Structure 1
Amino acid sequence: MMRTRPLILTCVVVGVLGSAAALVGWVTGAQGQAVRLDGDVSYDFGEIVLSDKSKLYEHTFRLVNASRGYLHVEGVTSTCGCVGVDAEPKSIAPGESLTVNVKIAVHKPGQFGQLAAMRFAGYAQPVQLTLQARVVLPEALTALIDEVVVARDTPRRIPVQYSSRSPGQSAPPQLKVLTPNGYSSTTGEWMRVSGGEAAASSRWQCELTIEAHEGDSSGDVMLEVPGADVHLTLPVRVR
């Protein structure tokens, strides 16, 4: 159900929005007169890396009253509370500007879009504002265990995951492993555990096998993905 709140814009996560948002937004009043707002009524944030879900992303729309009379902003229709908007001033004389400050929060990877409707007094149809983004996971290399403890001459298998920002990455990553003296390591086959050809990001997993030999001591195993700025240090303790 749609709800109305004055000057508060919220969003609905949808698929990729089309190119219907034009450079000029307009609506028609009950008597057939048109209200015009000159300016861009759509904005694409581009790629957003989902590293902090509490972070807000901002954009300011500047729209000019191109009609012959005053316009009065009654409010914005919305369906959820993940975006806030301040619109000033509420009443706009012909030729004057309306400033709409938008703040959005994103919470999951994928295509993100929101469509909000600004209502004006005396006009049945709202002016629509369109916001878009492509949300991707940060590139990261992680081990799925908290502590690596190995017994001498006994292979220890460690699940390792790599999150890629490359959309639809089809080729598995390459893993470079640096071990202390006396250790040996092998890397199993990478398997994609999420994402696909059309996905905004993908996640891969493999098994890293580490073995400590007689006379070795505890140390750090260094992992990296060549070509990506991601590294992981695994402290290894020998028992």
Structure 2
Amino acid sequence: MNLLQPREIMRIPSFLSTIDTDYGKPFEGGFYGGVININSHIYAIVWAPKSTQIKAEIDVEKANAFDPADSYSNTVALADAGSPLARAALAANINGYNDWLIPARDVLELGYRMLKPSKNQNYANWFDGVNRNSLPEGKHYSESYPAQTIASDFLDGGSESFDLAWYWSSSLHSGGVAFCQHFEDGYQSHYHSVSAVGLARFVRLTQVPVQALTTTTIDTQSINLHH
């Protein structure tokens, strides 16, 4: 189970009580991957099946795709600038859904935090794990946090596991360079050239009404978000 820090004040999405909230379980055309705040709107993250991930270049040096959380605006900006990877995401039709995106940096981070495939020691340097847009906010990784996922299909070698390799985000760091995350140790690098060939796993985002959130203080030493 993924525990939060003790006595943390947070806003818990009450919708979590109405869906299967175990990370990695089937949900809306893919697999549930957490909750993200994008421009004051709350979304549930849905990871596409592993069978649909692709290996490609972003292949765009100039695009207004710098948002750390907004996968939609980034992907559209990259596609408009001519990125074949972004255009592939927008054209994808997976399990009856056609609103797939390249995950932004903070969305991709949740993929590692909640669905970490291995027992490897985490890379705990720089700002790895810091995520001001996730619910709850992501804290700096330690060598032991996050732990390996308990979602069996997402364990290393499982049918839906992330590869022990680096994955693209749709968030550019600067011209010609984009953020990515290494799923062998969690390292969030910002130096991969958009001409490099990397893995991409698409996401879709399901909006959660703000009124579906409740503010509470919980003793997270004994309570967690899983049923």
TM over 0.5, shorter chain: no
Question: Which structure features the higher share of strand residues?
Answer: 1
Q: TM-score, normalised by structure 1?
A: 0.21
Q: Which has the higher contact order (CA 8 A, sep 6+)?
A: 2
Q: TM-score, normalised by structure 2?
A: 0.21
Question: Which structure features the higher share of helix residues?
Answer: 2
